Amino acid sequence: MNPTFERKVQAAAVAGWWVVLAAAILLTASWLAYLSLVPAQPEWLRNLWGENLSWEYIQNVWFWAIVVFKLMAWVMAMAALWLTLWARQLRKAGSTI
Cα-based distances in Å from 78 to 25, 28, 72, 82, 90: 17, 19, 10, 6, 18
Q: Give the separation between CA 38 and CA 31, rounded to whole angstroms.
A: 10
97 — pLDDT class (breaks 50, 70, 90): low
pLDDT value for 3: 81
**Does a structural domain hold residue 70?**
yes
* pLDDT(21) > 80: yes
Mean pLDDT of 14-20: 97
**Does a structural domain hold residue 29?**
yes
- Residue range(s) defining the domain that contains residue 75: 10-96
- Tally the domains of the chain: 1
The per-type count for the chain, helices as H runs and strands as E runs, is 3, 0
**Does a structural domain hold residue 1?**
no
* pLDDT(75) > 80: yes
Pick the residue with more confidence: 2 or 62?
62
The three-state (H, E, C) secondary structure of 43-60, written as one string = HHHHHHHCCCCCHHHHHH
Q: Give the separation between CA 57 and CA 50, rounded to whole angstroms.
A: 11
pLDDT over 90, % of the chain: 84
pLDDT digits (tens, 9 = 90+) for 26-73: 999 999 999 999 999 999 999 999 888 999 999 999 999 999 999 999
**Does a structural domain hold residue 81?**
yes
How high is the mean pLDDT of the chain? 93
**Does a structural domain hold residue 4?**
no
**Does a structural domain hold residue 67?**
yes
